[in-house]
Amino acid sequence: FICKPSDRNPSAPLMMGELWTEAGLPDGVWNVLNGDKIAVDGLLMHSDVPAISFVGSTVIGEYVYQTGTAQNKRVQAFCGAKNHMVVMPDADMDQAVDALMGAGYGSAGERCMAISVAVPVGKSTADELVKRLKPKVQALKVGPYNDMEADMGPVITSQAKDRIEKLIAKGEDEGAELIVDGRKVSLQGYENGFFLNGSLFDRVTTDMDLYKQEIFGPVLSIARAQDFDTAVEIVNGHEYGNGVAVFTQSGDVARSFSKQVDVGMIGVNVPIPVPMAFHHFGGSKRSKFGDTQMHGPQSIHFFTKLKTVSARWPSGIEGGAQFTMPTNR
């Protein structure tokens, strides 16, 4: 296996390699190749690389998929996301709010399964959700790696911070209601750090860039739906289909929702629907390129080749030659 990390976080795989070595893994089984596009293209074009599994942005994932398959390689690419959480009127609001806080702002929103859009059904549900979320978002604490009381750390780069701030400003310009503004953060001793606090938008519509783009930061948008069917339309209308959740106490609603949404991973009262590794993981639409998921039996099939061996051990020639298929006796 060759691990080609993102050039934004090259060190962790090297540490993994050291741990594998300490555990006794033979040299050459786990290899780390750091680099930029030149390294990526080298792997995509190399004749000794039969299969490629990718996780990253949709733009790069599509390039990896198209380039790799053009070289007759097996490719799976897991890409961008804009995960929604539908909150039905009968949902346990305490659970829904806590779930949104953790799923929306955990890891500063920089994870592919983060919930970035809440879809409350009905005006009263939306008003109550915003009312409860606002003080909790305002109370979020950001801090450096060694602050054990911090809820979030910094975002990964200054470029990421700038991009998130620009999308927040764009959201205001587009007419979304900024309930909590997390851009004004200054930590003593870390004035040049890439820190952002949580931001919360209400009345976000599907035609806004704030809604369309994967922000990959601590920003939660409220996109109100008048009824269940509208909520499903909102979910299905987005180009990404990685994960989605619905919070409800109705089994009928949960089943209808699960059948109707075009999303790869669905959570019922589970905000981040990531299953155990022996189940499949992967999205749909432009969140995935390729016909297999990661993890589970499909992952084993992706990284292996199937062989079929037909054998018999006759004691002698019986009945002469056979001229029809199959000749298995």
Residues with catalytic function: 112
Helical ranges in the chain per DSSP H: 11-23, 37-45, 58-70, 93-105, 123-138, 158-174, 209-212, 228-237, 251-260, 296-302
**What own/partner pairs with CB < 8 Å and gap ≥ 24 does 174-177 have?**
174/208, 174/209, 174/210, 175/203, 175/205, 175/208, 176/201, 176/202, 176/203, 176/204, 176/205, 176/208, 176/210, 176/221, 177/201, 177/202, 177/203
User: 327's torsion region: left (phi>0), alpha (psi -120 to 50) or beta?
Assistant: beta
> Amino acid identity, residue 92?
D
Phi, psi angle pair for 70, to nearest 5°: -65, -20
Torsion sign over Cα 193, 198, 203, 209: positive
Residue 242 region by backbone torsions, left for phi larger than 0, else alpha for psi between -120 and 50, else beta: alpha
Nearest to 283 by CA among 258, 303, 266, 269: 266
> How large is the C-alpha radius of gyration of the chain?
24
